Amino acid sequence: MSQSELFAPEAGARQDLAPGAFLLPGYALDEAEGLLTAAEAVYAAAPPRRWLTPGGRRMAVAMSNCGELGWISDEHGYRYGALDPDSGHPWPAMDPRLRGLAGRAAAACGFADFRPDACLLNRYEPGTRLSLHQDKDELDYGQPIVSVSLGLPAIFLFGGLRRADACLRLALRHGDVLVWGGPARLRYHGVAPLAAGAHERLGALRLNLTFRKAG
């Protein structure tokens, strides 16, 4: 398969994308309602916001966090912190439904005993995109990333270890789970501009839950 080709598998067996990178089509479908209920509780306690980048721009994706640590950005840089800087309170606890799903998905891809301490909840509206980047703010690159897609479908861009490397284009649907670690842990990735649409549960919205072992 060419890296410029759109990869859109049906729900079912695990898809091995590259050494250390896997797609679990529809893996979270049966638990989606519980995950959404947990996410809504997080947003009620720590509303999503568009962080300020170190360069002074607002990020396109609105986000919040739950767990022992949360990812934040401001004029001082990117980092994890135990407190929500907007409220001064700890981030909401990670619901067992969220933590359990992440651990099982990681184990299904060969990453045993994954215990995330941070879950980033990213809200995408039509037109929103996420530029290619590496996840490098965590202390232990030996731990995988687990990413759950809910709501509107999206085109996920999965690149190589250099920004200039070609990207595999993955069509992600409601309930799909991506897991990457090991030799794929620092691969560049992003999201193409979200197409307009209406999901039966979330409307014109995509919610992405990204689980990490940050501390």
Render pLDDT for 186-203 as a digit per residue (tens, 0 to 9).
999 999 999 999 999 999
The domain containing residue 39 runs over which residues?
6-212
Question: Please, what sign has the CA dihedral across residues 206, 207, 210, 215?
Answer: positive
pLDDT value of residue 1: 41
Mean pLDDT by 10 residues, the chain (215 residues): 55 89 97 98 98 93 98 95 97 98 98 97 97 96 98 97 96 97 98 97 97 97
CB of 137 closer than 8 Å to CB of 214:
yes
pLDDT value of residue 2: 42
pLDDT value of residue 8: 62
User: What pTM value is reported for the model?
Assistant: 0.94
Domain count, the chain: 1
Tell me, yes or no, whether 164 lies in a domain: yes
* Residues ≥6 apart with Cβ < 8 Å to 127: 193, 194, 196
pLDDT value of residue 202: 97
Tell me, yes or no, whether 1 lies in a domain: no
Mean pLDDT, the chain, rounded, equals: 95
pLDDT value of residue 136: 96
Q: Residue 14 burial (CB < 10 Å; 0-12/13-18/19+)?
A: middle
pLDDT value of residue 12: 72
Whichever domain contains 171, its CATH number is: 2.60.120.590
